[in-house]
Structure formats: structure tokens, C-alpha cells
A and B are shown apart, each in its own frame.
Chain A
């Protein structure tokens, strides 16, 4: 029997849709973009003159090398998320890059040429403070790692520990910095806040303490922010309260020298914390004696320390960013100063004299819809005539990296904000580009019958014209060879394709930058940076008006809520062009709890957005008279629910005609036992074609398709593996009626849920069997429909039948989503993002609680696969073949104009877009369909019939004459 089952299973699998793409389809309709995240450390690879690498260590725990010519990745290493993979320090010497990873847990050395790991050592425990390279006789030989209580030295070549020493008085002194001047000593600097600086000098050879001094510094609290080592080992600090510079020669002095800023003729801006920028060109040499002092947000001074004397070389105001760079023996200072609103100028100065170098002006354009420049990295090189040339990499506030060459040519731009997409939507493109342009003119209200008629007529005329030109273009393109047809999409020639397969992806990133991306090519068509987005903001993106209502422009609304204050703002924009809409969003003085997009429309076809504030009052946007009237009529049938996970409370509200609300139900989960982790309703744009399932005896089992059903997942607060559990609750969002309740004992989160049609699929970790399990719940009304014309939650006396089955899954998962198609005829697949970077398209057929344990005639008739506890991962099911998507955080699915096709976007560190065909491409001819052969055969047959007809006629005539 088991064998038979297996055979049956094999049959089913071989007949079920094969997902994998053919080799020649690779990259045809899918694309991937790889990102690294916000840059924390960056170094240019300078060990070879011809090197084209820039190394980046980012806040997303990624270490990568970029090609400076193209901006593409040479290699990339993605470490664990969270503090475990945090990159604390990045030291670069020659072709080795040394990283301290995971709060000082690991010390790693990478070969920058190929991205291979040279060595890795585990460091002793303790909080990481600082690290530096220690050089001797002109080369860097060791890596010094300073921790909270210990100080250790490691060989650069193999990572082995040379020595480790406990720091003296580590309970009171906060050691924060390490300095090595290239000789036999290494200096550890610590501070007792508002008291003194402790300097400990270690011998490089054996770790012996050579000298230990304590220097009075009652004004100092933190070394890295206000001090720097300059020149021949002089610790230089700046203090804003005493308005002074302090210097301390680490070799001999034991007293700080105070140099008041006034003596240099300088003053610190009110409330500004001044800082120092020093430069150390080589780890085995001493730092330069020139340094920058920042006195105001846009004022820098180039100072020089000479025998304890400080001289001002040059005053830069206004200056946004400064940086040093060294090539060969020459050290230059690059200063970026604003030119106008859309451009900045970068100039090079000789570091020793402060004189400007000729022909070194570089103009960098600043996107008015982007952020301000934040950091400047300069790659200097010697030209053939021994003058200094340079390229710069500018990091913007919105995490953009721009690489610019003289005199201002942008070589590449990377939008690293896209490594952290929070939410996205796909919007249909307008029918033609011309139409989209028109929308601006016709979007405003027209008055008078005649003018409206005229406007309508003229817009129709323009549409016709656009259509004709489109046809002409099609005809023209068809004659050209395929390779010559230009495929670059710009915002001007955006138009919907035949099957609506090309859409606009509107992506919202955590940094507050919005992107409009063409789903066909992945090109960024527009970007808009929202300033002053709090770092922990919550975003909710809604499409209020689609492109279907020409001449009204499409409209998206982004709700941004500051989680600290609870206050929210609305950003209303056109998703096709990214421009802020002329509609002014309402001011929201009250903290907003939730929003609700109603299917109601105002007279301009914009869906009504309801915002619920903390007084449970509702405000509408747009709030015209028409809308308010509609709301009053509909109020009795508008319900909403709120979930407060901290208090474990679910509550349902009803709208009153005066836009206040009343609570109608409440379910409380004891927060000390379990907490609500997620609530999933159904997607509002989901269509279910079939209202039931056909049984083996040809009767119908009707689905329980409650549009108001919510799946609430709870996790136990007790995480002990014997007592932990997860709960799933199916609850009607209108009445608060609990439809079904299931508790999975000895199970643990994170729980991933998909709720669609009449089923809920969830995945959890079973602590009992130590494996990942899938569970599926399906709801059926039974053999009879209670009411086939309308669905009202208030009138459903019967409880649905609940079926459930569980399966073992061989991998943990990162995220899960179901495919979505236009009419819901195509069978459904689950798209599962795996931590390995694969995206698996798992047929829902395998997650069916009606899978029988014993095969019967009826179940065979129904095409049910016999139950097998294991779900297998078949490699053809990976929709992204070898295009690994790192750290998948979400999968977005959208229907296309073709019923068979579902558009998929997976986002995380990378972005991957593709199409899936859950029931194969039943409505499209294949790509390799042989039009030539078919048409030539048809033509040949046609002519053959004509000829044979003629021949037959002749023959008949001849016979008649005989």
C-alpha cells in the first residue's frame, strides 16, 4: 500500500505544474538587485595602483567590495543579523581587511582581492572598545584590540594572540582608545569622566606596562568624540564649555596644555559640540600634524600643530564635509561646500599649506528630492604629471552612495535605502504616457457643462492620437531586429503593456525614502526622500485611487506614525511620478491608532480613508460633503477592530453617523500568559472564483468565505520547551464571534501565517519533535449554502466545519505569502522565503486537510494526494533558481492582467522580482511558439486545397466529355 501511495504521489507531482525556468528564460522576466545597507566604514583599496575596489562595512552586518568603475558588487559577505554579526571596527592594511565582529566576539581578516577569509579568531569575552593596527619598521604587524577589561595584541598574518594583559583599574577607568606611533610602544587611553585621563603604555614585544600616567582633565567625558591624536603623538582635545583646545604629548608630558580658542581668534557656535578630524596615512607611521576642527555645522578650520603651537592654515565656511586623503607622499584635504540648492562643490587643498590645488574642482549635484550629504570618502591618486587627481564617494542622509569623478561626472549611484524596504504596493501604469501627462491638467475641477464636454472631447482626441502613435511605434519596432529595439524605460514612455505585466512598484524604506521602480527592468523611475522621519516610525501605504480613473491622477497615501509620540502624518503622492499631490492632507493633531481604507469613493474616485485617533473618533480623508453624506448612510455597516498587543486586547467598534464610535465587542487574552503576535485578515483585492469544492461523488462542499474573518496568532510568554505553546484564533471581525480556536502545545514561534480564501496556513517550531511544522486550517460551510447572494456576519447562525492537518517541513522559513491572480481561477501556491535565500513555490495542494490517509475511489476522483507527513522541497520549486535573495523579509504578490500570471517581489537585503504561473501558462502561447512553421503550414495547406480543387474540376470535366 505504501508503495502504491508513493507511486500515486509521484504521478501527482510529475503532473503538477513544473515551476522551474528554462535556461534561456533566465533574466527574461526576473531581476535581482543586491544591496549592502547603510555604510558604517569604508576604505578604498589602495595597495595596488590599478585596484578598482572600495570596501564597505555596513550597519546591516554586510562586508562587501564594490567596483569603483561601475558600482557593482565584486563580492559580499552577509553576516548574522542583530548584534551577533555587528561590525564594530574595520581596519585596512594592504590587501588585508581586519574586522571586529559581534561586539568584540570575533576577529576576522579578509583578503580583499577575492573576498576570501584569511583567518578568524574568537576573542575573549568583554565589551569591545577600540581596535587599531600596530606597526613596526614601516609595516603593520599586529592588531591591538581594546576591550573593557583586557588589552590584547594579535598577529596580522595569522590572527594568533601575541599577548593579552588585564587593564589596570578597569573598574574605575573607562578605556576608550588605542594609539600606536609605529615604534615599540602602544598607548591605551582611558578616561574617568570629569576627572582625569589614564594613559597606559605597553611594550609591543611582551605586553609589559612601560609607563602609567594619569592626567587631570575634569572637563572630559568621552575621548573618541572630542579628542584625536595628532602629529608626533600629541593627544589633542576640544572642549566647548571652556572654549579651549588641550594638547598632551603622550611621550613626555603629564600635564595638558590649554590653548583657548580665543587666542586663535575663534569662537564655538552656541550649543554646538565641536569635534576634530585627524588623519593617519599609514598604520606604522605617525599621524599628520594637520587636522580639522569643526566649530559650527558648516564651518571647518584646517589647523596645524607645530611644537605645541597651533596655527590656523585655512578657515572653511561654508563647508559641509571634510576629509583627508593620501597618495604616495602627498596628503590632501577635500572640502565640500554648498554651491546652490542642487549642487555642491568639492575642492582639494594641500594639507601642509592649506593652499587650494589648481584644477581640482568637482561639482556634485544634490538631488532636491534626496537627502543631504553625510560623509565624504576621497580616493586620491597621482596623475602622470605628478599632480593629485581624485574621485569621491559621497554618502547621503538617505543612504545613497554616489561616486563622482572630476569634473562632476557621476560614475554610479547606489540606493542603499532599498536594503531596508518596509512596505510596498504595485500600481498599474497609465494606458499611455501622454495620458499620464494630461492628468495634471485635467485633474483639477472643471466648471460648466460646455467646458467639461470640451475637455472630455479633447482628452479623448489626445488619447486617440496617442493610441495611433503607439500602433505606429509597434509597427515600426516590429520591422527592426530585436536587438536594436531600445528597452530603456523612462518616466515619459511609461505605459501599460498588453497584459498589464509591467507595473510601478512603490517601495517605502525605513530611512523614509520612497522609490518608484519599474517592475519589468528594475530601474528606479523616481525617488523621494521624506525628511525628519523618526527612526522607529511605522508606515502604512494605501492606494486611494488607481490609474483607472482618467483624467484624475492616481493617488497613494503613506501614513507615517512616530511610535514615541503617537502622532502621525500623511504623505499624499502620485505613485507614477512620485510627486507630492496637490491635495492637502489633513493635519492630525491627535495620535492615530489605525487607518481603514473604505471601498467608498468620493466624486473624484478617491477611496475614502478613515483615521481612528486615540479618542476612538474617526476622521475621513478626503472629507468632502459628498463623502460625509455617504459615510452617514453607510455608517451602520462600517466596523473596525483594534488589537493592542501589549494588553492582549482585541476590540471591535462600530461607526456612528456622527463619526464617533462605539465598542461592540472585546476579547482579552491574558497578557501574562500569552501575547498576540500577529493578526491577519484577508487581502481586500482577493477574488475567489469557486465557491466550493467538488467531492468525489460530485456533490459540493461549500467554502466558508467570510470576508471579515481574522486569524489571530498568540505565543506563550513562557518559553520553556515543555510549556510553551502557540494559539490560533479565528474570529469574526464584525461580531467578535470566535469561529475556531486551536492551541499547539510544545510549539514555539516565530509563527508565519497566511490567511486567504477559506484557509489559514501557519508555520511554527515544534519543541517536542524539534522540527518546523506547517499546519493548515480549512473552513467549510457544508453541503448547503446558507445564503448565496449576500454575506453578512450578523446573520450566520451555523458554525463552519473546521478541518486541520499538519506537516513536517525540512527547513525553517523567513516569510510566507500566497499567490494572487486576477479572478482567482488559477490554483494557489504558497511562496515561502527560506533563510538560505531561496524562494519556494509550494503548491497549496500539498497543504490540504482533506488529504486522505487511506486512498479511496472518491479521493482519487478528487485528485487528493494521500497524506504524507513530510513536505518535500523539490529543487524545481525554487522560483529564483540561483538568484539568492539574502535575508528575505517580505514577499509581495500582485495579480497581472493574465489570469495565469502572478507578479512576485521578494524584498530583504536584496530585491527580486519575477512572475509565477501556479497552473502553468494556460492562457499564453509559449515563448518558443513557432509562428513561422504554423503559418507556413497553414498557407501551404490553403494553396494545396486551392490547387487540388482546380485539378479536381478539370478531371471532372474531362470525365464528362468521355
Chain B
């Protein structure tokens, strides 16, 4: 099961370059070149070829795997929510001035949830194997929405949203004149 170059590699090494061989077995002990790899205490223990020190996991399907899938899916679903504290911190750090870095941050913050929402179907496929698929999907959605709401709030606090009347000032047409008036000093 273990590869030839695995843990038993102490006795077995590939030395392609020097002797132009694909591989070679070194059966003699006390090879100084490989000593450094060995651990101090077990220096003299010799393992047979193919022996692995690690226990080999049991690959047959068991009950506990179901829980693992469940856990993994929850991880995916809760991902956006976990991002929020981090985003809040970044928001606080970047401040409200309009310059290149805060703008980049805001763009990233806004773009990521949008991207996630656009690829919703792919995420759902990922969650297909879970039993609580719908709940997880909902949590994922809420997390992303919260993320984008945060981005919008940031835009608002930076003054990037056209929410004030001054933002629409340029679109006001000059009023039409109802009366015609003229005259002046008597010539």
C-alpha cells in the first residue's frame, strides 16, 4: 500500500544521477549518507521493505462519514457570515476618505458577495449531499446579503451613494420662464 519511497526510504533510495540507474536496493547497514534522516532512538531498527510506521486508515464507509459531510456543508454555508467580523475590521481600518485603497477595499467587499450570489447554483450543488441543504442554502444567502449590506453601508458612509438632493442637482433643468420682461432707463 505504501509507496516504495515512503517511510522505509532509509534503506531504499533513488540515486538516479550518479550511477545512472533508475533505482537500487541498498542492503548494507551503516550507510553514512542516510544517517541524517534517521531519528536518534530507532537508529538500529530495520524495517522490512514496504513497512509503514503509520496505521493504515480503514477506508470502508461508516456511519461517522455522514456527520463529516454535514459539517463540511455547514462550513461552506457559514463561510460568508464568518467573513463579516473581518470585513468590519477592514472597514474600520480603511476609514471614510476617498482614495485608492479604501475604494479597492469597498469594491472587494461589494464584489465578493455579489460573485457568491451569482454562483449560488454551484454552491447548491456542493450542498446537495447534505440533509439540511435548504437551511444551509438560506444561511449562505443571508450571509452574503449581510456582506453586501455591509458594503453598501460602507459606500453610504463614504458618501458614494446618491442619496442626497445635491447628487441630483445637475439633473435639474432650468425652470421655464413664463413672462417676458425688458426695458430700462428712458433713452
Chain A interface residues (CB < 8 Å from chain B): 538, 540, 559, 561, 563, 568, 592-600, 612, 634, 637-645, 676, 678-679, 681, 687-692, 694-695, 698-700, 705, 707-708, 733-734, 785, 787-794
Contact = CB atoms under 8 A, between A and B. Distances in A.
Interface of B: 159, 164-167, 169-170, 172-187
Given A594-B187, A637-B180, A643-B186, A695 B172 contact: no
Given A640-B182, A644-B186, A734-B179, A700 B165 contact: yes
Contact of B175 (A592, A643, A791): A791
A429 B178 CA distance: 31
B181 A733 contact: yes
A358 B175 CA distance: 76
A540 B183 CA distance: 12
Nearest 4 Cβ contacts at the A-B interface: A792-B178, A596-B182, A640-B183, A698-B164
B181 A708 contact: yes
Q: For B164, B170, B180, which residue has the most chain A Cβ atoms within 10 angstroms?
A: B180
Contacts of A733: 181, 183
A559 B187 contact: yes
6 contacts: A638-B179, A645-B186, A688-B174, A698-B167, A707-B181, A734-B181
Given A691-B172, A788-B175, A599 B166 contact: no
A791 B178 contact: yes
A676 B175 CA distance: 31
A540 B170 CA distance: 36
A692 B169 contact: yes
A596 B183 CA distance: 6
A689 B169 CA distance: 10
Contact of A705 (B159, B175, B187): B175
Q: For A597, A681, A700, A785, which residue has the most chain B Cβ atoms within 10 angstroms?
A: A700
Contact of A637 (B170, B179, B183): B179
A653 to B, nearest CB: 8
Given A540-B187, A700-B165, 13 more contacts: A637-B178, A640-B181, A643-B186, A679-B185, A691-B172, A691-B174, A692-B169, A692-B172, A695-B166, A700-B164, A705-B174, A733-B183, A790-B177
B130 to A, nearest CB: 43
B184 A793 contact: no
**Chain A interface, DSSP helix/strand/loop, else mixed:** strand
Nearest to A654: B179
Contacts of B180: 598-600, 634, 637-639
Q: For B177, B181, B185, which residue has the most chain A Cβ atoms within 10 angstroms?
A: B181
A791 B181 CA distance: 13
A568 B186 contact: no
B160 to A, nearest CB: 12
Contacts of A679: 184-185
B145 to A, nearest CB: 27
Contact of A700 (B169, B174, B176, B184): B169
Contacts of A678: 185
Given A691-B169, A692-B169, A787 B183 contact: no
A863 B185 CA distance: 39
Contact of A593 (B159, B172, B186): B186
Contacts of B166: 692, 694-695, 698-700
A16 B166 CA distance: 23
A644 to B, nearest CB: 5
Nearest to B167: A698
Contacts of A690: 169-170
B180 to A, nearest CB: 5
A700 B172 CA distance: 12
A641 B183 contact: yes
B46 to A, nearest CB: 42
